[in-house]
């Protein structure tokens, strides 16, 4: 009787392991098929994630097939948690991932992490920098990387600019200025860092709430902000746009 109960308990735990593994395979492939994977990792790692997803499904299928054909063998091993806890945690996390859509970082996180501060340390693939690009064709991250290479704001004064990003209200800036920002990813969302440029308005920034996505068009000027000279966009037009399907830059 006791042995029968032990075998039943062991079988349940083995099936729990298989279901948890399969659930994570489904989660990875679901994120890939629905386009959510870009909210978590850099596109260069999509292939590895897809392979891992299919691999977990194969492991789950083979493990389930073996359990259906044979009886489990009890093996003594030591764990930090009671049997089944880790598998239950993995399964619960996978189910939560399937039910909850990942949300991109917003202005609050940008202010916490400091806009443009980590760029010099985390910039990857500097060979993609396009110094000769037409000013109005540069993206927001292109402009920030241009400044990182040659940080003299007067060198860009008068150049046309057209960029997209979300609104950040920096408490250190006057009410007539906002920051247009985006998050850039080098590996995954955990290391995402915000980049941005100040925007000079003709009215109060309260007309543009934080996290609103805008397309800003204008020209570059030099302004004294936060006790230093900064390259600033003198806005000619600010057009509200929808948040991109993938809001991160690379």
> For every one of its 250 residues, what pLDDT tens digit does the chain have, with 9 covering 90 and above?
555 655 656 667 778 888 899 999 999 999 999 888 888 888 889 999 999 999 999 998 988 888 887 655 444 444 545 556 777 888 888 888 888 888 888 898 998 888 876 444 334 444 444 445 688 889 999 999 899 888 899 999 999 999 999 999 999 899 999 999 999 988 888 888 999 999 999 999 999 999 999 999 999 999 998 888 999 999 999 999 999 888 888 8
CA dist., res. 126 & res. 137, Å (int) = 18
Q: Are 96 and 121 in contact (CB under 8 A)?
A: no
Q: Residue for token digits 């075998």? A: 7
CA dist., res. 98 & res. 27, Å (int) = 6
Residue 125: what pLDDT?
Answer: 42
Residue 7: what pLDDT?
Answer: 60
Domain 107-240 carries which CATH code?
2.40.50
Q: What distances in angstroms separate CA 58 from CA 50, 164, 183, one per listed residue? A: 12, 42, 35
For the chain, the structural domain boundaries read 2-99, 107-240
Residue 118: what pLDDT?
Answer: 47
Q: Are 179 and 198 in contact (CB under 8 A)?
A: yes
What letter does residue 83 receive in the DSSP assignment?
T
Closest CA to 185 of 10, 40, 68, 59: 40
Residue 53: what pLDDT?
Answer: 94
Q: Is 180 helix (H, G, I), strand (E, B) or coil?
A: strand
Residue 101: what pLDDT?
Answer: 81
Closest CA to 124 of 192, 180, 179, 182: 192
């Amino acid at each position: 009787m006791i042995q029968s109960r032990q075998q039943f308990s062991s079988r349940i735990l083995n099936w729990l392991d298989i279901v948890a593994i399969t659930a994570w395979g489904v989660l990875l492939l679901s994120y890939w098929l629905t386009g959510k994977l870009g909210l978590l990792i850099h596109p260069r790692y999509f292939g590895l994630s897809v392979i891992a997803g299919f691999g977990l499904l194969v492991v789950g299928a083979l493990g389930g097939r073996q359990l259906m054909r044979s009886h489990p063998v009890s093996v003594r091993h030591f764990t930090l948690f009671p049997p089944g806890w880790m598998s239950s945690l993995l399964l619960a996390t996978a189910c939560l991932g399937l039910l909850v859509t990942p949300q991109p970082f917003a202005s609050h996180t940008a202010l916490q992490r400091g806009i443009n501060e980590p760029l010099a340390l985390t910039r990857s693939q500097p060979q993609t920098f396009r110094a000769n690009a037409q000013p109005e064709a540069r993206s927001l991250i292109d402009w920030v990387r241009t400044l990182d290479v040659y940080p003299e704001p007067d060198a860009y004064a008068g150049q046309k600019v057209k960029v997209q990003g979300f609104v950040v209200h920096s408490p250190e800036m006057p009410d007539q200025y906002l920051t247009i920002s985006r998050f850039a990813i080098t590996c995954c969302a955990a290391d995402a860092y915000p980049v941005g440029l100040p925007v000079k308005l003709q009215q109060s920034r309260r007309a543009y709430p934080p996290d609103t996505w805008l397309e800003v068009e204008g020209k570059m000027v030099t302004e004294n902000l936060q006790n230093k000279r900064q390259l600033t966009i003198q806005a000619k037009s600010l057009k509200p746009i929808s948040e991109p399907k993938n809001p991160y830059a690379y």
